[in-house]
Structure 1
Amino acid sequence: MQIQVINSQISDIETIFQFYDMAIAHQKKVFNKHWQGFSRSLVETEIAENRQYKILVNGEVACIFAVTFEDKLIWGDQDVDSIYIHRIVTHPGFRGYSFVKEIIKWAKAFAPLNGIKYIRMDTWADNEKLLAYYTGCGFDYVGVVTMQETEGLPKHYEGISLSLFEIKV
């Protein structure tokens, strides 16, 4: 089995939005919160800036995720020298492949080449299942932040509390 983490291309945009639709449907089944959708321009910008990724398994898109290098609205004064991982979506046919661990492995290789000291993530503060999963993947739990300012963030960030996670590289 060959696993590759590579940049998404503009030709992947329909696949990316299909993955988001699958994720939202799954979130509605297993949790009391879900993403509210994402703008096409956001994803196009991420692709153009090489911040949208896909994981291929034997050449087939199995997972997608996005990164950013600044997340001040969520991390405040702690927003330094970090890569922030967002919107990880695994195709239902590939659940159980531990893609978060693959993303961590990729980010640990990416970090020293780009002056990055932390790999960081967030999720809804009351999502106990994901909290346990992320710490089980090697993230340290940092604490909870309640969102005050959300302008520029996707709609699902409005009025929520987030659990924060990091790995020091």
Structure 2
Amino acid sequence: MTIKNSELTDVPKIFELYRIATDFMKSKNQVHWPEFPKELIINEIEENRQWKLLINEQIACIWATTLNDELIWGKENNEPSLYIHRIATNPEFRGQNLVKTLITWANEFGKKKSLNYIRMDTVGLNKGLIAHYEKFGFEFLGTKYIENTNGLPEHYKDGEVCYFQKEII
């Protein structure tokens, strides 16, 4: 397994994985991702904030990161943290605890950057996903509706946001 920054040549695969994840969310009647603007993904790649986990040279999982997430976290954005967004797993690699690998990587990344927390959010009260993240040591901080969703993807208008954090150790 290798984790490294995504490249521009990965854009088609990134969108394929987003479509698969979105279809899965829809099949479970959950708040689902909109189609993200290509410019967003290209920008994340150019800023080295879009990541991929490779297994046998295949993309097994992708995610995006940021060190500032004021639009979603508001005043709680004041702690130095690594914010993880849009985890999407290639169905060929489901069931391999890739989130655990991602969290181990995020913890090491955060230590190198002197960060305090790994933080994530998800839209909609998905009890299975809450339990899944808690299994990996995340504290479920509760939910709230974001009043001003300007500048956020469309799905943030569709429900309450669940907040998670894990101390970097």
What TM-score do the two structures reach when normalised by structure 2? 0.95
Q: Give the counterpart of 1:62 among 56, 60, 63.
A: 60
Q: Provide structure 2 residue ranges, at least 5 long, that are not aligned to the other structure.
A: none
Distance of 2:32 and 2:123 partners within structure 1: 10
What is aligned with 2:117? 118
Q: Report the AA paired with residue 13 of structure 1.
A: V
1:35-73 Cα deviation digits (max 9, x unpaired): 111000000000000000011012111111111111112
* Aligned pairs, number: 167
Distance of 2:13 and 2:158 partners within structure 1: 29
Q: Provide structure 1 residue ranges, at least 5 long, that are not aligned to the other structure.
A: none
What is aligned with 1:140? 139
Cα displacement (A) at 1:91: 0.9
What is aligned with 2:106? 107
What is aligned with 2:24? 26
Q: Does 1:38 align with 2:16?
A: no
> Which deviates the most, 59-68 or 23-32?
23-32
1:65-106 Cα deviation digits (max 9, x unpaired): 111111112211111211111100001111111111111100
1:92-140 Cα deviation digits (max 9, x unpaired): 1111111111111001111121121110001124111101100011101
Q: State the 4+ residue runs in structure 1 displaced beyond 3 angstroms.
A: none
What is aligned with 1:86? 85
Q: Does 1:162 align with 2:150?
A: no
RMSD: 1.1
Distance of 2:39 and 2:114 partners within structure 1: 28
Look up the SS of the partner of 1:104 in the other structure: helix
Cα displacement (A) at 1:159: 4.3
- Percentage of matched positions with identical amino acids: 41
Cα displacement (A) at 1:20: 0.7
What TM-score do the two structures reach when normalised by structure 1? 0.95
Distance of 1:107 and 1:159 partners within structure 2: 28
